[in-house]
Chain A
């Protein structure tokens, strides 16, 4: 075995401490630099070299992509608040469901069909609320991970929330469920603020970088 291949294998082993995505893109390039700058007849990776490479690799792993701009970090925090408010609404709904049903049962002229509608609606709202909590949290995570698709999923979610709000208002939900409306409005306002934050210019730049342009396009 010649000394270059033995040295190269040594470098490859040390380079394993770099993130995979980085190695895929820059592995061959950095290896070429390392081999070219090696001393004449060098067969093994020097200790200092090895330490510097491990340090670089660890630093790169600890810094996942680049730190999101402040607006994105605020958006992520806001989405966590959204999840908490949503969760509070769901918990309140679950806790008070029994008393609501009891109160309705006493109502004169309340038919069985109406009873089924109300229980069905309550169950639906509990389940969809739970899903919404999970969605808030998942999207907050994805947003921090620079997934551009998270922004567009959130937009769809926001549109759905707005639509639900409007339907509730049109049906005069406020007349019989002010608490529900307040919770809905709070969640909607949080979603609106998040929307504004994730579509500001710094956010756009941050998410546009996510998909690095192909090398051929970047060249020249």
Chain B
């Protein structure tokens, strides 16, 4: 997680599992499979179709926000008023 976000997001296990539990109860993610690695349980999660849809909507919303800001900042768009 820290690697993917370039070190901006450091998720502690406590925070992570609170989030996972909520996502699971909202049926946005589900258990994909389970493994036993070195005698320890490892569980893999996967986005549900509803989760994929929600994520796409959220990403589009953030993208639209960012685009609006960038347009204002660009020289062609003129100064921020």
Interface residues of A (CB under 8 A from B): 22, 26, 28-37, 48-49, 52-57, 59-60, 63, 65-66, 209, 212, 215, 218-220
Contacts and interface: CB of A to CB of B under 8 A. Distances in A.
B21 A220 contact: no
Contacts of A66: 22, 25-26
A36 to B, nearest CB: 8
Interface stretch (B11-19, B54-62, B67-75): B11-19
Contacts of B24: 212
A34 B13 contact: yes
B3 interface: no
Given A218-B30, A219-B32, A30 B18 contact: no
Closest 9 CB pairs of A and B: A56-B14, A32-B40, A52-B12, A53-B14, A52-B14, A28-B41, A56-B18, A66-B25, A29-B43
27 contacts: A22-B17, A26-B17, A26-B20, A26-B43, A29-B41, A29-B42, A30-B17, A32-B42, A33-B16, A35-B40, A48-B12, A49-B13, A49-B14, A53-B13, A54-B14, A56-B13, A56-B15, A56-B17, A57-B14, A59-B18, A63-B22, A66-B22, A66-B26, A209-B25, A219-B33, A219-B34, A220-B33
A66 B13 CA distance: 20
A215 B14 contact: no
For chain B, the bracket of interface size reads 20 to 34
Question: What secondary structure prevails in chain A residues at the interface with B?
Answer: helix
